[in-house]
Structure 1
Amino acid sequence: MVATHKAVRGLAALGSSLALVLVGLAVPAAAEPETPVAYRSASTVTRADSLGFDTCTAPSLAALKAWKGTSPYRVVNMYFGGNNRGCSQPNLTAAWVRDASAMGWKLLPTYFGYQPYCMRGDKPNRYTAANATSRGNSDATDAVAKAKALGMRSGSALYADVEHYDRTDSACRTAVRRYVSAWTKTLHSSGYLAGVYVHQDSGLRDLSDSYTSTTYARPDAVWMARWDGNASLSGWPTAPNSHWAADQRAKQYRGDHDETWGGVKINIDSDAIEAPVATVARTYRVTSSTSLNARSGPSTSYPVVRAHAPGSSLSVVCQGTGQKVGPTTVWDRLTTGAWVSDYYVSTPSSTGFTRSLPRCIYPGQVTTDSLNARTGPGVSYPTTGSPLRRGSLAAVMCQKAGSRTGTTSVWNKLRDGRWVSDYYVSNRSNRSWSAPVPRCL
């Protein structure tokens, strides 16, 4: 990909504000570097922790099926847009995204748009320091539209490809930072996480140098290219381990080469991935003998918003914890944003979580250098585990009232069961609840 590329808090911008108001959402506060994500109700962040591969043209479903059972890879990238994308994508449709996800693949969406004017290569569409912000905004807007059309839901991480460039040009370094900041803020206002693909000696170095800058919004994840055969996600020479420290890193550790699995040969780059990827709904059916009520929250105390007939299909985005129904406390969040008890859904387990479905989480970046996590929602509870670093994604599952910290009494329960004050997590409010995060029971 690198060598040839196979293929206070201020007001949001007026257009974004109007769009959010029109869909009934509170306008998130905007502050660099930790801008909040305006998650939609039917959303979650999906994380990958495995090896992956990227290739110019999205492989056929038959090829993915052959590789799924035989290769070490569990994530595949896809170049889903951008005016510098070089390869045709005959396979890349909403059906491909749906079926590849149902097959068990996690998807790493890559957008190959405008490039810095000092890029080392011959891609024609480039930006300067003067127009980098507008290019970042327009690329992100287009990326969101294309992601939605392919079925990648709010909470998906979309990765802007920033190819290797000449760092001796200071104006070009500024251009890259402006582009990535605009990319990040526009994606966040649309409900998506912002990732970037960068070279270790240019983009990674510059974004790491501006990690705490109040001038630029910080992306949520970095995918770094260094073809040294080492898949480690720590000890990088141009970014300290404290930057993008919580499942926010991927590394392209081997470049162009052929691999054959299940009798199918593909030319790929190899990646190690512990980072957010695409969120794609999966289809199950209602197993109850009577209509299944979908509710506005994960408990029978919430209002019914719709009833689903026995045997009907349900599009499930993620799973969370709620009121116990039968032997399980698992509830499923649907593409409508409503919740149903998993006890009456044809997921593989009727007693616990389904491994192939993500947990419902709504991460925000940590806004302080070191955030203590506790065993309960208040400072009277003991600290537990390692503190969260600035810029880490706090994997928020639900919120509950606790001891007051700063301007809020809201506390966040994390995916690992620990608690942090919401005051130090960038989301829609540091004074009150942040939809669509559910309340903890």
Structure 2
Amino acid sequence: MPYPHSVLQRLLTVSFICVLGGTAVLAFAPVAAAEPATPVTYPAGATATRYSGLAFDTCTAPPLASVQAWSASPYRALGVYVSGANRTCAQPQLTASWVASVSQLKWRLLPIHKGLQPPCGARPTDAKISTTPATARSQGTAAAGEAITAAKALGMLPGSALYNDIENYNQSDTVCRTAVLTYVSAWTRELHRLGYVSGVYMNLNLGAKQLADVYTSTTYARPDALWIARYDGVDSLKGWGGIADSKWAVHQRAKQFRGGHDETYGGVTLNVDTDRLDAPVATVAYSYKVTSTTTLNARTGPSTSYPVASTYAPGSTLKVACQTPGSKVGTTSVWDKLTNGSYVSDYYVSTPSNTGYSSPLPRCTYPYQVTAPSGLTERSGPGSGYTAVGTSPNGALAWVTCQRAGSTVGTTKVWDHLDNGHYVSDYYVATPSNTTYSKPVPRC
């Protein structure tokens, strides 16, 4: 298997000359050198979604009527247990129809997989991770597959973040610690291989710190987002003891800061845990109608200059994943990306607005980890000669919206346009290619 370009950057950091001429080094590099940033292989219809604000989670997904009543609450995101051998609560409400309805109400969802637990922690009756590394690795891979299958059945698209719930464990047990880290690493690698974003939920002091300790390790793949439990009543996403603010720093954090308690909104009482999020969540499709009076062309990119991929009859239903800028049609420059990866002008779609973006549709983004060891300079344009306007720390998510050509860095001329308007060289981002453009990211 060829090494992703993030590997080249870590192995050959002595000089730019080494990057160009380090073939012999690569030929004998150990497999473990592929860590900690592994590329995400997003399929054509994928996009990521993130949420910033208050969230809650409950053991059993509440009825739709309860979610409707909680529109009076400060929450707009909800954690749901989608899969796992140790998922203890029944989920009679958790169906594809429920997910679609809740999403139409403008709620975001955090899919949780409660699978195998640490061999030296959690409940005695829980199914456990093996202390044999090879077995733990296969278990982590299987967990990712199980979570993806469950998420797909609920209508959650590739690009969704899936969170693996790892409960408390004994920090002094090195065999146990290795088992957990191996399991989580395999979970992350498999999610990335299949086009999903990797999240992990851990107690701050009894798990998360150990994950932070191997943040730059070449042994373990690094998850994209960290959700901690720390019941101190403080909803800050910074100042976590033992975890530097520079780790999981760019829309990659969540905190469960209050444990189970009752809250009432709209006359409905639920027992919830309370969370603060600035992190990736599930991506879902939203249904809209074609409003044109003639056949609507769906194209391979967000512009009328792209080839026609398919056509849709007037009044037909479209499954929209996200919105992105493109060529102007009528009164709007917004294009809708469909779940099959094609694009249609939003001017001919029944979204709430035909001049701008429409909530709750997310903007199309493709997050990949930054691989530059000392951080990656963000610039005002696609070239090293443009003004420096910020820095993405090592391991941060580069929320890429599109790619374009710029000045050469390392082995590529590709520059990534971020959703904050800045540009970074693709050479230091864990996209699938380090020489050319990476599908399905569109051209700028």
| TM-score normalized by the length of structure 1 | 0.92
Q: Does 1:347 align with 2:351?
A: yes
Aligned to 1:19: none
Q: Which residue of 1 aligns with 2:79?
A: 77
* Structure 2 CA distance for aligned equivalents of residues 366 and 143 of structure 1: 25
Name which of 365, 380, 387 aligns with 2:369. 365
Whole-Å separation in 2 of the counterparts to 1:152 and 1:183: 18
Q: Which residue of 2 aligns with 1:140?
A: 144
2:106 aligned partner? 104
Change (3 A) 1:246 1:298: same
Report the 3-state secondary structure (helix = DSSP H, G, I; strand = E; otherwise coil) of the residue aligned with 1:363.
strand
What is the aligned partner in structure 1 of residue 382 from structure 2?
377
Amino acid paired to 2:206: S
Match in the other structure for 1:277 = 281
Aligned length in residues: 414
- From 302, 306, 310, the counterpart of 1:302: 306
Q: Aligned partner of 1:126: which letter?
A: K
Equivalent position SS for 1:127: coil
Say if 2:64 is the partner of 1:61: yes
Q: Counterpart of 2:110 in 1: which secondary structure?
A: strand
Contact 1:297 1:438 in 2 (8 A): yes
Q: Report what 1:188 is aligned to.
A: 192
Q: Deviations over 1:213-261 (max 9, x none)?
A: 0110000001000000000000000211000000000000000101111
1:165 paired residue number: 169
Q: Distance in 1 between matches of 2:109 and 2:276?
A: 13
Structure 1 residue 10: Cα displacement: 7.0
Q: Which runs of 5+ in 1 are unaligned?
A: 1-7, 12-28
- Distance in 1 separating the partners of 2:318 and 2:346: 11
Matches within 5 A, 1:284-299: 284-299=288-303
Residues 68-103 of structure 1, C-alpha deviations (whole Å, 9 max, x = no match): 2x1111000100000011000000111111111111
Partner of 1:3: none
Distance 1:30 1:263 in 2: 55
Cα distance in 2 for partners of 1:10, 1:415 equals 23
Contact 1:413 1:419 in 2 (8 A): yes
Aligned to 1:48: 51
1:129 corresponds to which of 128, 131, 134: 131
Aligned sequence identity (%): 56
- 1:159-238 aligned within 5 A: 159-238=163-242
Shift of the 316–381 alpha-carbon distance from structure 1 to 2, 3 Å rule, reads same
SS of the residue aligned with 1:201? helix
Does 1:37 find its partner at 2:37?
Answer: no
Equivalent position of 1:9 in the other structure: 3
Q: Please say if 1:433 is aligned against 2:416.
A: no
The Cα RMSD (Å) is 1.4
Alpha-carbon displacement from aligned partner over 1:9-35 (angstroms, at most 9, x marks no partner): 279xxxxxxxxxxxxxxxxx9921000
How far, CA to CA, are the matches of 1:153 and 1:266 in structure 2? 28
Could you tell me how far apart the structure 2 residues matched to 1:34 and 1:120 are? 28
Report SS of the residue matched to 1:118. Answer: coil
The superposition leaves residues 337-374 of structure 1 with CA deviations (integer Å, 9 ceiling, x where unpaired) of 10000111111111111131111111110001211111
Could you tell me whether the CA contact under 8 Å between 1:423 and 1:430 is conserved in 2? yes
Secondary structure of the residue that 1:115 maps to in structure 2? coil
Question: Match of 2:413, SS?
Answer: strand
Contact 1:10 1:30 in 2 (8 A): no
Give the distance between the partners of 2:304 and 2:90, measured in 1 at CA.
Answer: 49
Task: Give the Cα separation in 2 of the matches to 1:238 and 1:114.
Answer: 25
Q: Is 1:315–1:335's contact at 8 Å kept on the other side of the alignment?
A: yes
2:402 aligned with 1:408: no
The answer to whether the 8 A contact 1:325-1:341 is kept is: yes
Relative distance call for 1:132 and 1:164 in structure 2 (3 A) is same
- Which digits, 9 at most, give the CA deviation of each residue in 1:94-149, with x for residues without a partner? 11111111111100000000011001423420013312111101111111111111
CA contact (8 A) 2:4 2:39 kept: no
CA contact 2:4–2:430 (8 Å) conserved in 1: no
Equivalent residue for 2:25?
A: none
Counterparts of 1:9 and 1:207, CA distance in 2: 24
Contact (CA 8 Å) 1:84, 1:123: kept in 2 or not?
Answer: no
The residue number in structure 1 matching 2:115 is 113
Partner of 2:91: 89
Indicate conservation of the 8 Å contact 1:115/1:123, yes or no: no
Q: Distance in 2 between matches of 1:383 and 1:354?
A: 32
| Structure 2 counterpart SS, 1:52 | strand
* Counterpart for residue 335 of structure 2: 331
Kindly indicate whether the alpha-carbon contact (under 8 Å) linking 2:33 and 2:218 is maintained by their aligned counterparts in 1: no
Q: For the Cα contact (< 8 Å) 2:4–2:434, is it kept in 1?
A: no
Q: Is the 8 A contact 2:4 2:433 kept in 1?
A: no
Consecutive unaligned residues of structure 2, counting only runs of 5 or more, are 6-31
- Cα distance in 2 for residues equivalent to 1:30 and 1:378: 29
Q: Residues of 2 paired with 1:188 and 1:120: CA distance?
A: 27
